[in-house]
Structure 1
Amino acid sequence: MHEPDLASEEQWPLVHLDVSDLAPAEGARVVADVLTEASGRHEAFAAVVQMPSTTERPRGIGGVSERIRMLKQLRPRLKETCRGLAFVVSAETQATNAKAIRAGAKMWGCPTFATDDVAAATAWAQAQLAGASAEGDA
């Protein structure tokens, strides 16, 4: 389930994306593509993203600069439409990337959550959507 068809996504506005079996760089590209498509709908959404559990850092400047460029392009769109990104990664990966995880909301432009439990990530994302719709009704 790498690239869901968002137009027919039965669970919209909750996007589920599993890139856990991809290499980190490829997974990042797929995530960027899906989030770009989701934000392009100009509707509130939240996403649960199962990421590769790796403690390896991107090698070379290319990997880092590509991810920075991707974040800069996505952030304004996510600020408008994304109600939350829940990342599912191993506890070891969370520990290795603790600084980036703490800066998640600033990096992505929307609330973020990291856990090693898909059910917890889904519950958090659903709560973010429920909170957003309650604010919209006020």
Structure 2
Amino acid sequence: MKSFMSLYSSYCYALMRIVTGFLFLWHGSQKLFAFPIGMPGDVPAFLTYVAGPIELIGGFLVMIGLFTHWAAFITSGEMAVAYWMVHGTTALLPIQNKGELAVLYCFAFLFIASQGGGIWSIDSSMHGARRKAPGR
């Protein structure tokens, strides 16, 4: 299985980067434009004016693979802050404080920040060569 999957690791990584960025940008769209659904309850201004642009722009940049290292690093940091400010104050474990998604995004973006854009990214097109994904 390992040798079979290693043939596709760069493609799997690219799909993970694209899907993660795509899903994340909708959190920013929700905060900034109440689209596709509005935010529940009273949303602090911090979420709207600081987290919203980071999520929308950062998610888009990660999705298209432009400035991937920096965009993913910043979004990872934002998710770490979100976890400790919003979820971490109520209980210790993510399963208790409903912070699983923040933790998952934090570490997914940290991994993407360490690897860069990989194939199917603007970063690799701008550098004239395909950057290798993990395991290649």
Q: What is the TM-score normalised by the length of structure 1?
A: 0.27
Comparing both structures, which one devotes a greater share of its residues to strand?
Answer: 1
- TM-score of the pair, normalised by structure 2: 0.27
Q: Specify the structure having the higher radius of gyration (Cα).
A: 2
